[in-house]
Structure 1
Amino acid sequence: MESALRIPKIQCTIQAYKNNTMILFVSKMRMWIFFKKTKMPNQR
């Protein structure tokens, strides 16, 4: 019973971790693109 309850919790934690990593990655990419656009407006 104990282990049966523990497994979904780990799954949820992994899912939450993945979601947080994706959000972090996307925000970093947006910041990087914005930085490039502001620093080098003439370059594509």
Structure 2
Amino acid sequence: MVKTDTDSAIVNLLKLFALWDIIILAHKYNSIALYYILTERT
């Protein structure tokens, strides 16, 4: 039982790290898009 618990905990940690990677990438691309939009308007 302990092995499956630790396995699921590791899987949850991996999911969390993947989610953070996606959030960081999205934030980078959003800031770049915002920069281009702002420079295009002026």
- The structure whose residues are more often helix, as a share, is 2
| TM, length-normalised to structure 1 | 0.83
Instruction: String of CA shifts for 1:1-44, please: whole Å, max 9, x gaps.
Output: 1101111100000000000001111111000000111111xxxx
Specify every segment of 5 or more residues in structure 1 that has no aligned partner in the other structure, as ranges.
none
Specify every segment of 5 or more residues in structure 2 that has no aligned partner in the other structure, as ranges.
none
| Higher-RCO chain (CA-CA 8 Å, sequence separation at least 6) | 1
Could you list the structure 1 runs, at least 4 aligned residues long, displaced by more than 6 angstroms after superposition: none
Give the number of equivalent residue pairs.
40
C-alpha RMSD over aligned residues: 0.7
